[in-house]
Amino acid sequence: MADDFSSQVERYRNLIDAALLDIGKNGEPAYLYEPIRYVLSGKGKRLRPSLVFISAEAFGASESEALPAAMAVEILHNFSLVHDDIMDGDDLRHGKETVHKHWDDSVAILAGDGIFSLAYNQLTHLDSAATECLKVFSKATLRLCEGQALDKDFESHKAVSVDDYLEMVRLKTGTLLSLCCRLGAIVGSASADQTDQAGRFGERVGQAFQIQDDILEIYSSSDNMGKSLGSDVLAGKKTFLTCSAEEENASQWSEFRTGLGGGDLSEEILPALRQYFRDNGIQEAGKERVKQLVNEALSFLENIPKNKREKFELFVQMVIERKH
């Protein structure tokens, strides 16, 4: 079953990749459409549109019926990355230069705006489901902005509680996976209760996904992650690990951070971070919180027939076992 599921996700990825290449293919002026094509030709994991397809299939919709919703989510995700990279000053995304680095901030802002409008345009192809999908899509977009605002605001806070961090990632990461499940359910004509339960599942999976990402950002490899490990911590971004360290022993964490000084990131700082989080039980606490959130997510599927929730469960397994 797992091998069949992996093959199916690979097929979803290929379907989305091909459809993205058609977006803005012949668009002019080049100032706008060249960076849009640059972004949409990137090779992402396409986990989010895969979840739209999984949800839609669970509630009786075909791939062709769900494709515009899956495309809308993936395009929205790419829009958010373009603007996030400007705000965070990141130069690499999936191993290639970000738009603002490859061109400049003005190009990146305009390209992001264009990509955002393309996401909404996809939803107009959903026929009878379009109005309801537009409603949940618009609401989710605002929640994403709220999550990003909290993320940026937290950078200037010395201490952020783990609970506050979890609320931020619920908005910033959980919202998008929740949207995937809700759109698929709506396209599949699920009941309001089933749509809500699927959405809650996605929200918890999103939180687990982000904590897993925080752990990988320290314990994976630069080749896998496509960026320098530990860079988020040095930039002052709050992660589950840093919030836990602050909450567990603020003075010890502060002393440790001060002691990092201006050492080499890969040779000195990253090994020190790994040891600190491991020795203080923070890495393990992160893994346990991921398991807790996954169990909560799966509990929201209990009222959905078992034959309709198997692929949701396989999706969770795939996300949690990923290496990047």
pTM for the whole thing?
0.92
More confident residue, 92 or 312: 312
Instruction: State the pLDDT confidence band at 222, using cuts at 50, 70 and 90.
Output: low
The pLDDT of residue 224 is 52
Q: How many CA atoms lie within 13 A of 144 on its CB side?
A: 23
Domains and CATH numbers, the chain: 2-320 (1.10.600.10)
Instruction: State the pLDDT confidence band at 229, using cuts at 50, 70 and 90.
Output: low
Q: Over 90: is that where the pLDDT of 141 sits?
A: yes
Poorest-confidence range of 48-62, 89-103, 163-177, 189-203? 89-103
Q: In the chain, pLDDT over 90 holds for what percent of residues?
A: 77
Q: Over 50: is that where the pLDDT of 250 sits?
A: yes
More confident residue, 49 or 261: 49
**Average pLDDT for 84-110:** 92
**Average pLDDT for 108-125:** 97
Model pLDDT for residues 292-318, shown as the tens digit of each residue: 999 999 999 998 888 889 999 999 999
- In the predicted model, what is the mean pLDDT of the chain? 92
